[in-house]
Amino acid sequence: MIALLSACLAALLLQDAPPTPPPADALHLTLNEAIDRGMRNNLTIRQVRLDAEQTVDTYGQAWGAFDTIFFLDGTASRSVAAPTPTNIVGGVNVGGAASTETVFVDIKTGFRGTFLTGTSWSFDVGPRRVKTFSDAGESDVYVGDWTLSVSHPLLRGGDNFARSALTLARQDVEISAAASFASILLTLETIIDAYWNLVFTNEVVATRMGAVVLAQELVATTTAKEAQGLQTQLEVFEVKAELAQRKEEELTAKNAALDAIDLLRRLILAPDVDDELWDLPITVAKDAVATAPAPETKLQVAVDTALARHPDVVAARTRLQRADVILERAENLALPKLDLTGAYGINSNEDDYRDSLTNLNDEEFDTVSLVLGLEIPFGNRTAGYAVRRAQSERREAGVALRDTEIAVITRVRTAVREVELQELRVGVTEEAMRLNEQLYDGERRRLENDLSTPFQVRETLQNYLTATDTHTRAKFDLEIGRARLLSAQGVLLEYFGYARELPPDLDESVRPPAP
């Protein structure tokens, strides 16, 4: 009878019973379903995705420097010049000038902008009225003109300087996307840990419930033997105390399972999206894991994958490229300023505003100018020290990249060893659990034949429960270790069937649409 009971309880504790249908008022999840909900609902993932979207908007904002600008300027003034005193030239009184009143009105409108080459341009057109009053008479002139001006930097601000601002903005997008991806990997790791932790706590609950049944049977057996005079009352008290301890362990395990449910709920559900699910208990399937093959555990292959795919390495590599661009810009700003500016325009003098604008087609009255401007700052401290700082930042970015690579390599090596360790632990702990089961069963048989004591049975039961928990933990630690190895390589998303989250393809030659 005792052997049959031991075998039944061992099946309850150790073997995978046929799955029972989940309650209708519970949320039943496989690991893949939990991950899918987390990818859609997790608030941390939502936040980092929004951060990445903001940097894309910042890239579009950087294009604002190359937008065409419409302008309209109006100037109006009135001035009265005082009369000049009498002027004697060669003993002859040539007289002086009377006071003069001048009214000036100038309106300019047009467009201006900057090309990706750094060349700035402007086109303006507008009338200007100059009206004067004096003792000599009155003058009212309407001057119309249009002018096209183009200025190109030959040294400072030239070459690729203007476009490099877009390169920096694009690299910021790539860095932000990598940081977002890294955060998603860590969050996904947390979700997987929480899932397997819930599976583990559920297994512990089942183990503790079985232990209560075993302890109850031991109390019944010991009480019966005490009635036969084969056991003492003290031993009855001992097994009853053991039963109370097992019940306390069952209560503690159930509370830990509730805590594990709350943790998983917070990670994969959002109250504003899953209001009807938020308060439901969660049940999980311990055997519903991903169908993809086990992660690569060959060290060199795993390291090579991590160096190519891990977002921390990708971000550090992009920061180094960004430091190169910043250094190039700083060196450009340290050059002398040499700008070539050319302008061409046509003017007219008429009697009213309308004619001054409509008669701007006579190329005989034109204006042509060509200006070559040179500026050389003595000392050039601002630009010179900016170059030195950019050089230092470039070296720092190189060191940071190497440090990141070493950190990722170390993480991969640790993860590979952890997976290998847990694979061995699963086999060893399974054997230990099997042997402790046999020891417990044997001690129960000995007690049945009055060759053992309740104390010895309790000791073997405790060892049996500990071995069971250790084996269960080893199995789930293996799953967690595999997830961390995949995360260390930067391929955890692909393993579960999700596309790698990449920054948008930003072509610096294509102007983004206006918002």
Mean pLDDT across 132-158:
85
pLDDT of 4 > 50? The answer is: no
Pairing of strands 87-89, 120-134: unpaired
* Rounded Cα distance, 422 and 428, in Å: 10
The tens digit of pLDDT for each residue in 427-454 reads 999 999 999 999 988 988 888 777 777 7
Q: Which positions ≥6 away from 60 have C-beta within 8 Å?
A: 512, 515
- The pLDDT score that the predictor gives to residue 291 is 42
Instruction: Answer yes or no: is pLDDT of 10 > 80.
Output: no
Q: Is the pLDDT of residue 200 over 50?
A: yes
Domain with CATH 1.20.1600.10 in the chain: 2-14+25-61+163-325+388-495
Query: Which residue matches tokens 């890294």?
Result: 182
Rounded to an integer, what distance in angstroms lies between the CA atom of residue 354 and that of residue 345? Answer: 18
- Which ranges in 100-232 belong to alpha helices (H)? 161-227
| In the predicted structure, residue 408 carries a pLDDT above the cut 70 | yes
- pLDDT the model gives residue 471: 92
Are 301 and 491 a contacting pair, CB within 8 Å?
Answer: no
Nearest to 284 by CA among 217, 361, 198: 198
Q: Which residue has the higher pLDDT, 272 or 80?
A: 80
At 489 the pLDDT is: 92
Which pLDDT does position 21 carry in this prediction?
A: 54
User: How much is the average pLDDT of 36-43?
Assistant: 91
What pLDDT does residue 276 have?
79
Picking from 418, 182, 180, the residue whose alpha carbon sits closest to that of residue 306 is 182
How high is the mean pLDDT of the chain?
Answer: 85
Q: Exposed, middle or buried, 113 (CB in 10 Å: 0-12/13-18/19+)?
A: middle
Rounded to whole angstroms, how far apart are CA atoms 209 and 220?
17
CA distance 416 to 434: 28
Is 145 within 8 Å of 6 (Cβ atoms)?
A: no
Which band of pLDDT confidence, cut at 50, 70 and 90, is reported for residue 461?
Answer: confident
Contact (CB, 8 A) for 295 and 419: yes
Band (pLDDT 50/70/90 cuts) for residue 84 is low
- State the average pLDDT over residues 319-331: 96
User: What percent of the chain clears pLDDT 70, i.e. is strictly above it?
Assistant: 88
What pLDDT score was predicted for residue 20?
Answer: 52
Mind listing the pLDDT tens digit for each residue in 496-514?
888 877 777 787 778 888 8
Integer angstrom CA distances of residue 495 from 298, 370, 412: 17, 64, 16
CA 144, 148, 153: angle at the middle one, nearest 5? 145
Mean pLDDT lowest among 54-63, 159-168, 171-180, 222-231: 222-231
Point out which residues pair with 150 in neighbouring strands.
121, 342
User: Which of 460, 417, 141 lies closest to 302, judged by CA?
Assistant: 417
- Residue 239, CB-side half-sphere exposure with 13 Å CA sphere: 26
Report whether pLDDT(8) > 80. no
Contact 147, 343 (CB under 8 A): yes
Better-predicted residue by pLDDT, 506 or 22: 506
The pLDDT of residue 259 is above 50? yes
* 87, pLDDT greater than 80: no
Average pLDDT over residues 21-34: 79
Residue 23 pLDDT: 55
CATH of domain 2-14+25-61+163-325+388-495: 1.20.1600.10
Q: Cα separations (Å) of 241 from 235, 273, 454, 458, 512?
A: 10, 48, 12, 11, 75
pLDDT value at position 409? 95
User: Which position has the higher pLDDT, 334 or 456?
Assistant: 334
Q: Is the confidence at residue 25, as pLDDT, over 90?
A: no
Q: What is the pLDDT of residue 143?
A: 82
Structure confidence at residue 514 (pLDDT): 81
Average pLDDT over residues 27-31: 90
Which one-letter DSSP state was computed for residue 137?
E
pLDDT confidence of 327, banded at 50, 70, 90? very high
pLDDT in tens, 92-119: 555 556 678 888 888 889 999 999 999 9
Residues 6 or more apart whose CB falls under 8 angstroms from that of 155 comprise 335, 336, 337, 338
Mean pLDDT of 164-170: 93
| pLDDT value at 168 more than 90 | yes
Tell me how far apart the alpha carbons of residues 146 and 107 are, in angstroms, rounded to a whole number: 12
User: Whole-model pTM?
Assistant: 0.79
Average pLDDT (189-194) is 94
- On the 0-12 / 13-18 / 19+ scale of CB atoms within 10 A, 93 is exposed
pLDDT tens readout for residues 206-220: 988 988 998 898 888
Burial classification of residue 18, based on how many CB atoms lie within 10 Å of its CB (0-12 exposed, 13-18 middle, 19 or more buried): exposed
